[in-house]
Structure 1
Amino acid sequence: MRERNIPAIFIPQEFLDSWDRETFGLVEYDDKVIDSYSLSQESKYFLIKAGLPESASPFLTFESSLNGGGVKLTEKYDDANPLYSKYIYVGFTGNGHPICIDELNDEVIYIDYDNENEEVFINSSITQFTESLLVYVDFIEKIKAENGRRAFLERKATNASIEWVANRLEEIDADSLTQGAFWKEELNNFHC
């Protein structure tokens, strides 16, 4: 397995060069709509130039502008609380919870409908999120090599592999491993 060397400044082309587009295609967002948001220029540029994967581990699905992605959560769901107008919908988790970008601070979150609509932190920015997705792909390859092809589905990983991915995720975005955060909870699902 070739470990990715993720640069300090992650740009769309580096993501495009690293992502396996033949296996996991990419979704595109309407540049005029994305440009109208008050996201950082870095986030806008990334979404317009690279987009997001159609799907990614762990069980995440993303929707293009043509399929209802890249719009305010309140536009996607007519019955959404007006407080959610600050969220730009980009996809959903394996449990169907919407994945969004907070327009006020560029954070990537999901809304846990099963837990009183709790906003669950994923990453501090879209670039850190996509970097984390790439590292997670490496983690899955690593645990499959160690524990067999069903290791990810069976949630089997060595302590060393879990420590390795945790260190990589922390290098990318230390906040992503705080208690209750998406990546922290994901790693808590593994056993030796």
Structure 2
Amino acid sequence: MILPEEFNDKWDIKNNGPLIKVNSKDLSNLNFSNQLKEFLSVGGIPETPPPYLELTSSEAFLRPITDTFDMPEEFRKYWFLGSNGNGDPICIVEDHEHIVFLNSSDQYKEVFINSSLNQFAECLLSYSLMIDKAIEINGEDAYIDNDIPDSTLNWLRKEIERIDSKSMEDECFWSFEIHNLCES
């Protein structure tokens, strides 16, 4: 699993955008593990990473989703991180710190992304590296045109499987994302 400092060093801010870091004092009273708190304060999370995610630094960031959106109380266990390309909320599940999104077109059904914030960040890093590899091989518009070599997609699939095998199960975010890249 990637360490916060390692992620911070490997994330290419120039090409992939800034990292959001949370002041450790702002995290001290939250009921999260020290590992998660350290990742948020030292490593940070990308603000607008591919694939079309928007992780926000607004007031809504890292609060129970029910404090920001009009949602039933049973959603209080979800802590808001941002949204995916469809506008579905990406959250940390309070009790086990999994990263999920809530599918707004399916009654906010929970869709698994990663087992931890560290693994989520590492998958985002691998996805960004996949884009870089595709561009290197097939030119500047390779990702936009979905002209990604099979070898590069296979590399990404193996990388995400290595990082967090659960994230590649059917009906999970990363499995779906890679499937879409392969089908287009």
Whether the TM-score (by the shorter chain) exceeds 0.5 is yes
Distance 1:151 1:32 in 2: 42
Q: Which 4+ stretches in 1 moved above 6 angstroms?
A: none
Distance 1:115 1:174 in 2: 25
Distance 2:131 2:169 in 1: 21
The residue that corresponds to 2:175 in the other structure is 184
The residue that corresponds to 1:59 in the other structure is 52
Alpha-carbon RMSD: 1.6
Q: Is contact 2:126–2:159 with CA below 8 Å preserved after alignment? A: yes
Larger mean Cα displacement after TM superposition, 146-155 or 43-52: 146-155
Q: TM-score, normalised by structure 1?
A: 0.88
The residue that corresponds to 1:174 in the other structure is 165
Within 5 A, what are the aligned runs for 1:5-154?
9-23=1-15, 24-64=17-57, 66-77=58-69, 79-154=70-145
Identity, in percent, stands at 32
Task: Name the SS for the 1:153 alignment partner.
Answer: coil
Q: Is contact 2:32–2:97 with CA below 8 Å preserved after alignment? A: yes
Q: TM-score, normalised by structure 2?
A: 0.91
Q: Which runs of 5+ in 1 are unaligned?
A: 1-8
CA-to-aligned-CA distance 1:37-64 (integer Å, 9 cap, x gap)? 3222111111122221111010111112
Task: Give the paired residue count.
Answer: 182
The residue that corresponds to 1:155 in the other structure is 146
Distance 1:134 1:53 in 2: 9
Distance 1:163 1:140 in 2: 13
Q: Which amino acid aligns with 2:147?
A: K
